[in-house]
């Protein structure tokens, strides 16, 4: 089966690289895709389906959609599209939207609570559908924006993992679009004629101002330095831990010197 376009070929290469480098999908996996109906999750299911048909290993896909209960959410478009393309799909109707309204006061940003509630629902669904992996549609722009958000506003140097085992060890979350740019995911969902379904959440489009600022900053820098996103992405896989200040990463100099002394005293085994 040939790729349908240059864009699909490029995205397929990037996703295959992520899968092999981070061990994201293995023989026999049942991969559950968190399908919101946004461009990123559509791009994810489309490219995984293309790769599944060509892969030297056997794995299956199942889409799940979490309906947060907002009025006007067009989940039928998602079910209809999946049915037309032969993709197994489960819709889970929840009251996440209502719960957020009840718990949070009006001035608070709902997104982190929403993410936690949706993550809990995804874990429950993964068990229900017998999934061995949970695939999320985060792309390269999400990784580097999260890196800068944590650096600028949270005092920590971290982004997101491409593969994460849940705290209880029961679930494995994977992000196969780690190397794919947001613009590529958008163009691919459009070229694949997949219907973008808005989440209908009142906070949607008014996401954290800090994230919007970081997006603008990267876009500004990109004008002068077109390769800046790739450089930041490469940096995430090229950490010089001894050139940071976290003592947990760099044992005290005395300890290192002691270890070196011990090693120099250890006789070299003779044959
Ligand atoms: S915009 Fe709405 S749906 Fe999206 S993460 Fe925030 S609260 Fe949840």
Answer yes or no: is the C-beta of 204 below 6 A from any ligand 1 atom.
yes
Asked if residue 206 has pLDDT above 80, the reply is no
The average confidence (pLDDT) of the chain is 92
Arithmetic mean of pLDDT, 222-247: 96
Q: How far apart are the first and last CA of the chain?
A: 55
Structure tokens at 75: 């989940």
Indicate the pLDDT class of residue 132, thresholds 50, 70 and 90: very high
| Residue closest by Cα to atom 4 of ligand 1 | 204
Identify which of 58, 49, 62 has the alpha carbon closest to the alpha carbon of residue 15.
Answer: 49
Asked if residue 52 has pLDDT above 80, the reply is yes
pLDDT for 103: 84
- DSSP assignment of 209-258 equals HHHHHHHHHHHHHHHH-TTHHHHHHHHHT---GGGS--TTTS--HHHHHH
Arithmetic mean of pLDDT, 106-111: 74
pLDDT for 166: 94
pLDDT for 227: 97
Answer yes or no: is the C-beta of 191 below 6 A from any ligand 1 atom.
no
Answer yes or no: is the C-beta of 117 below 6 A from any ligand 1 atom.
no
Q: Could you tell me the distance, in angstroms and rounded to a whole number, from the CA of residue 201 to the centre of ligand 1?
A: 6
pLDDT for 262: 78
| Residue closest by Cα to atom 7 of ligand 1 | 111
Asked if residue 240 has pLDDT above 90, the reply is yes
pLDDT for 199: 85
| Residue closest by Cα to atom 1 of ligand 1 | 204
Arithmetic mean of pLDDT, 147-161: 97
pLDDT for 154: 94
Asked if residue 92 has pLDDT above 70, the reply is yes
Indicate the pLDDT class of residue 260, thresholds 50, 70 and 90: confident
- Ligand 1 atom at minimal distance to the Cα of residue 201: 2
Answer yes or no: is the C-beta of 199 below 6 A from any ligand 1 atom.
yes
- Ligand 1 atom at minimal distance to the Cα of residue 100: 7
pLDDT for 83: 97
- Ligand 1 atom at minimal distance to the Cα of residue 70: 3
C-alpha dist (Å) from residue 95 to 105, 106, 117, 189: 17, 18, 10, 28
What CA–CA distance (Å, rounded) separates 46 from 66?
19
pLDDT for 205: 67
pLDDT for 113: 87
pLDDT for 174: 98
Answer yes or no: is the C-beta of 232 below 6 A from any ligand 1 atom.
no
Asked if residue 271 has pLDDT above 60, the reply is no
Which domains does the chain show, CATH number per domain?
6-202 (3.40.50.620)
Helix (H, G, I), strand (E, B) or coil at 144: helix
* CA dihedral sign, ordered 145, 151, 155, 156: positive
């Amino acid at each position: 089966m040939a790729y349908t376009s240059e864009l699909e070929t490029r995205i397929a290469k990037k996703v295959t690289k992520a899968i092999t480098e981070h061990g994201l999908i293995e023989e026999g996996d049942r991969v559950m895709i968190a399908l919101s109906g946004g461009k990123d999750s559509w791009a994810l299911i489309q490219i995984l389906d293309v790769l599944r048909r060509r892969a030297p290993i056997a794995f299956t896909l199942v889409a799940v959609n979490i309906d947060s209960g907002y009025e006007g959410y067009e989940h039928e478009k998602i079910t209809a599209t999946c049915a037309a393309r032969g993709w197994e799909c489960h819709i889970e109707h929840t009251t996440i939207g209502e719960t957020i309204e009840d718990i949070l006061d009006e001035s608070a940003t709902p997104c982190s609570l929403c993410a936690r509630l949706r993550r809990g629902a995804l874990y429950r669904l993964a068990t229900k559908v017998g999934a061995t992996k949970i695939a999320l549609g985060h792309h390269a722009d999400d990784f580097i924006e999260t890196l800068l958000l944590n650096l600028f506003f949270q005092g920590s140097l971290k982004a997101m993992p491409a593969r994460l085992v849940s705290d209880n060890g029961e679930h494995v979350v994977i992000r196969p679009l780690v190397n794919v740019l947001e613009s590529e995911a958008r163009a691919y969902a459009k070229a694949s004629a997949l219907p973008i379904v808005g989440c209908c959440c009142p906070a949607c489009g008014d996401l954290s101002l800090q994230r919007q600022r970081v997006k603008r900053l990267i876009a500004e820098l990109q004008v002068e330095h077109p390769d800046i996103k790739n450089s930041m992405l490469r940096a995430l896989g090229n950490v010089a831990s001894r050139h940071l200040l976290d003592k947990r990463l760099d044992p005290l100099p005395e300890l290192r010197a002691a270890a070196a002394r011990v090693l120099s005293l250890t006789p070299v085994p003779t044959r």
